[in-house]
A and B are shown apart, each in its own frame.
Chain A
Amino acid sequence: MDRDATADVNAPHSMGTTIIGVTYNGGVILGADSRTSTGLYVANRASDKITQLTDNVYICRSGSAADSQIVSDYVRYFLHQHTIQLGQPATVKVAANLVRLLAYNNKNMLQTGIIVGGWDKYEGGKIYGIPLGGTILEQPFAIGGSGSSYLYGFFDQAWKEGMTKEEAEQLVVKAVSLAIARDGASGGVVRTVTINSEGVTRNFYPGDQLPLWHDEVEAHNSLLDILNASNPEPMST
């Protein structure tokens, strides 16, 4: 074999990813998987792809891990200065605009898709999708990353306007789980961040507690449990 066995370990980190942002009646919910891969090797199986920019604005990152991190660092820096100058929290629109200016003006060098979500007192909860070329699109919900391909039909069916916080959270978790099930580049756990007038809440859904689909098997801790079972005899005919 001419392929070096360690090629994957040193390759650039990419987040295959499934990321989602959804508005509900009162705020937004951001959701993501937790797999960071370098080639076929899972470099981090519990990464946090939902990153804070300000107290009230968070982003979901997909694509190149390095590119998305640097973009979010710059925007956090600019937003911090902007907040000091303005004397009040920045709006979600301003945060999204700063992200897209970086994404658009450096489109030849960057490879990252970003979903900006947050809450401000003027517009309430808002989601902005900023895919690869640096377009900015305000949407009631946005999906991104390699896993999102499997979710377009799902959202067409399941999305509705004016959901409650609980409905929206369940929708996000279900969607990410579906994508994890079908997309090899997404996996691990599901993380969600809820942002509304009251503040920010983080939630965590471990991989083995995600809803199962028709052809999946119940999770087992270990097949060695059979030794502790009541009847340790081999199967009888």
Chain B
Amino acid sequence: MSSIGTGYDLSVTTFSPDGRVFQIEYAAKAVDNSGTVVGIKCKDGIVIGVEKLIASKMMLPGSNRRIHSVHRHSGMGVAGLAADGRQIVARAKSEAHNYESTYGEPIPIKELADRVASYVHLCTLYWWLRPFGSGVILGGYDRDGPQLYMVEPSGVSYRYFGAAIGKGRQAAKTEIEKLKLSELTCLEGVIEVAKIIYGVHDEAKDKTFELEMSWVCDESNRQHQKVPEALLEEAKAAAQAALEEMDAD
């Protein structure tokens, strides 16, 4: 999978002879090595979950948030370099605010995804800028219903039913494909996402982790918010139980 781009990988403005821009691929590696971020589109909304790897026991639970609200109706989960991710979120907030000031309505999620993708792509065009070392999963609920987008460090953005980035993305995607998303409500979706995150977490390789989840759905009045405490605990418990069942086999 990885290859050395000797000589052609020094600058983001250099193509390799086989048409690759190595700097962008290296940026994607930063995302691949980070904690998993999962997003799914249920029939009545979006659920985003993050496997937040805890670097130190001294950290306060709930700090170093990986999921941020962009606007009342949308939020994004960030993977990769945290500081880079913060910039992307700041830009998204700014775009959403400006759009509403000019056009008098909340920014359509498709438009927001386009703008974020354009911005990330912009930073791959100049030698004096480096690409963002983070990818985001953007979920929102506008007048066309709930929508889920993913933006990669290269600047590509696609709309998804289910998406995953980070360490456990392969396993997570397999699990997501097993779900019948069009029949799932967000209440059920929260439990499923928790199970997936607990499932893909590698106890052997990684330290402990904290599960962070958010949703935007009919239950939450189409506002993006943290999954309520009670439901989060229920999801964690269900995920633990599912894990023990698997181990028992």
Contact = CB atoms under 8 A, between A and B. Distances in A.
- The finding on whether chains A and B are genuine partners in a shared complex, rather than unrelated, reads yes
Contacts of B182: none
Interface in A32-55: none
A93 B111 contact: no
Contacts of B102: 97-98, 101
Interface string B209-221: 0000000000000
Contacts of B103: 82, 94, 97-98
Contacts of A82: 103
A135 B105 CA distance: 16
Contact of B104 (A85, A86, A87, A94): A94
Contacts of B180: none
A147 to B, nearest CB: 29
Interface in A124-141: 136
Contacts of A98: 102-103
Contacts of A96: 104
Contacts of B104: 93-94, 96-97, 136
Task: Tell me whether chain A's interface is mostly helix, strand or loop, or mixed.
Answer: helix
Nearest to B108: A86
B105 A93 contact: yes
A213 interface: no
Contacts of B143: 122
A56 interface: no
A98 B143 CA distance: 20
A91 interface: yes
A5 B74 CA distance: 65
A82 B102 CA distance: 11
A94 B111 CA distance: 15
Interface string B3-16: 00000000000000
B127 to A, nearest CB: 29
A136 B103 CA distance: 13
B215 to A, nearest CB: 24
A85 B105 contact: no
What band does the interface of chain A fall in when counting residues whose beta carbon is under 8 Å from B?
A: 10 to 19
Nearest to A91: B105
Interface string A96-138: 1110010000000000000000000010000000000000100
Interface string B137-170: 0000001000000000000000000000000000
A134 to B, nearest CB: 13
A86 to B, nearest CB: 7
Interface string A79-97: 0001001110001011011
B108 A94 contact: no
Interface in B87-108: 102-105, 108
A97 B101 CA distance: 9
Interface string A55-92: 00000000000000000000000000010011100010
A132 to B, nearest CB: 19
Contacts of B111: 85-86
Contacts of A86: 108, 111
Nearest to A123: B143
Contacts of A136: 104
A94 B143 CA distance: 14
B186 to A, nearest CB: 23
A98 B102 CA distance: 7
B18 to A, nearest CB: 34
A101 to B, nearest CB: 7
A98 B105 CA distance: 11
Nearest to B104: A97
Interface centre among B104, B108, B110, B143 (most CB of A within 10 A): B104
Given A93-B104, A98-B102, A98-B103, 13 more contacts: A85-B111, A86-B108, A86-B111, A87-B110, A91-B105, A93-B105, A94-B103, A94-B104, A94-B105, A96-B104, A97-B102, A97-B103, A122-B143
21 contacts: A82-B103, A85-B111, A86-B108, A86-B111, A87-B110, A91-B105, A93-B104, A93-B105, A94-B103, A94-B104, A94-B105, A96-B104, A97-B102, A97-B103, A97-B104, A97-B105, A98-B102, A98-B103, A101-B102, A122-B143, A136-B104
Query: What are the nearest 9 A-B pairs in CB distance?
Result: A97-B104, A94-B103, A122-B143, A93-B104, A93-B105, A97-B103, A94-B105, A94-B104, A86-B111
